[in-house]
Structure formats: C-alpha cells, structure tokens
Amino acid sequence: MHLPLQLTPPADLFPNGISRYAAGGLLVGLGAVAIYLGTGIAAGASTFLESTLSYVSDQSRFQQYRASRDWRVVFTLGIVLGAAVYAVVWQGGAWTTDVQPWRLLVGGVFVGIGTRVGKGCTSGHGVCGVGSASKTSIVGVVTFLAVAIVTAQLVSALGVSP
C-alpha cells in the first residue's frame, strides 16, 4: 500500500537561513512602532497610492486623503532612502530583478486595485492590522496569502520564469 499523494517537503525550509529575515522583520516593525509611538498613526504603505493621486485628480475618492498626503510622501521617501542605505552600505551597488516587466506591471495593477478594495496591504493589514489583533486584517492577510500562493504556484507550473 502506498499513499496516493506523496507530499515531499523541500529539503531545506530555510535555504538562506533565518537571521536575515528575522532581523529585517524586526526593523520593519520598529519603523512602524517609531511612528506609532510619536503620532498614534498605524502607517500602511498602500494608502500612499491613493493619497498621491489626490495631487493630480480631483476625484473625491482621492481627495479624502488630502490631509495625510504630505506625510505619506515623506514616509514613502523614507522607505526608498532606508533601502538605499542598505544598498550602498551592504549590497554593494544596485540590484535589479529578473522578473519580467509584464508580470510586474499586470501584478502591480491587481495589487493597486486589490489593496484599495480590500482596505489594506501587507503593511497595513499584515503588520499594523495583525499587530493590533484586528479580525478584519487577519482575514485579509489569510485571504491574500492563500490566493497569492495558489497564483504563484500556477504561474510557476505554467513554466513562467522568472
């Protein structure tokens, strides 16, 4: 007798170790915490998309973020600069992805729509929402994580790489 479906776990669950991931995650959390301690704001990264569109569109959907749009630009610039510090000091120059532009573009459109319909992204729901034990955010994270896993596995199975 043999099992009809043999689940073969990867030989190594953490081929790149865990310290890089854990230290990075702690810093991501600390960045959010620093802002929260000083301002009471639980910052997410995706509202920047809508709030920045308020500079160029009169739509009320975007204008509602007028009051927060300037600090969201500063937050995003901080993210870019913080990553640039890493790149200059540790990475040794620029790094570029091999993932095909069409995947980035089409995926980006879905991310842009989904995060606005679903009220948050990996930082708003995933870090701040889960951190505040929000049931809405936990459901949001489980949903996008499950769908993303299925999508990535399908795309990979279809032979799309990178």
Q: Which of 119, 116, 99 is nearest to 107 (CA)?
A: 99
Task: Tell the smallest beta-carbon distance from residue 4 to another protein (Å).
Answer: 20
Task: Spell out the long-range contacts of 121-127 with Cβ–Cβ below 8 A and sequence spacing 24 or more.
Answer: 121/44, 121/45, 121/46, 122/45, 123/28, 123/32, 123/43, 123/44, 123/45, 123/46, 124/42, 124/43, 124/44, 124/45, 124/46, 124/47, 125/44, 127/28, 127/29, 127/32
Task: Tell the smallest beta-carbon distance from residue 5 to another protein (Å).
Answer: 15
Q: Which is nearer to another protein, 1 or 137 (CB)?
A: 137
Task: Tell the smallest beta-carbon distance from residue 3 to another protein (Å).
Answer: 19
Q: How many helices (H) does the chain have, and how many strands (E)?
A: 7, 0
Task: Tell the smallest beta-carbon distance from residue 2 to another protein (Å).
Answer: 23
